[in-house]
Amino acid sequence: MECTVTWTGASGTRSAMGFVAETGSGHVLAMDGAPDANKPENGGANLAPRPMETVLAGTGGCTAYDVVLILKRGRHDVRGCSVKLTSERAPVDPKVFTKIHMHFTVTGKGIPASAVERAIAMSHEKYCSASIMLAKTAEITTSFDLLEA
């Protein structure tokens, strides 16, 4: 896997701290920093997700992918899945994630709650590389709602 991240601030864009990432699979993702009222030249313009937000989003994508795949492989009639991630970070550099809560909403027909619970556990214990890495510094908790389609 590879990715090239390029600073766009020097090319006269609207943000002094904008970056573009191009992934090995050929996709492009913009990132930007938060505005800095004390030193505007050091801040972004909030034109795109912040880099750490993309880490959190990638983790959500990784685990949601696993949960859907595990449920489908179990022949469950899954119709929808979303996960809302909330987090806390250390107050000082390197402001690592210290707590992450993932709340899943799974929609389907006749899916037992135990199957959803198992899929989430399998993702976090075995398959989701992102959440397994983040668990080295963060306490990760999960919850879910199961909606009948």
Q: pLDDT by residue (tens digit) across 77-86?
A: 999 999 999 9
- Enter the tokens of residue 25: 């699979």
- 3-state DSSP: the chain helix, strand, coil percent, rounded to 5? 35, 35, 35
- Enter the tokens of residue 147: 């909606």
Q: Is the pLDDT of residue 142 over 80?
A: yes
Cα(69)–Cα(63) distance, integer angstroms: 10
Q: Is there a contact between 112 and 46 (Cβ–Cβ < 8 Å)?
A: no
pTM: 0.91
CATH number for the domain running over 51-148: 3.30.300.20
pLDDT tens digits for range 88-125: 999 999 999 999 999 999 999 999 999 999 999 999 99
111: burial class by Cβ within 10 Å (0-12, 13-18, 19+)? buried
> What is the distance in angstroms between the CA of the first residue and the CA of the last residue of the chain?
37
Domain boundaries, the chain: 3-42, 51-148
What is the Cβ-side half-sphere exposure of residue 82, based on CA atoms within 13 angstroms?
3
Cα(149)–Cα(111) distance, integer angstroms: 10
Q: Is there a contact between 87 and 138 (Cβ–Cβ < 8 Å)?
A: yes
108: burial class by Cβ within 10 Å (0-12, 13-18, 19+)? buried
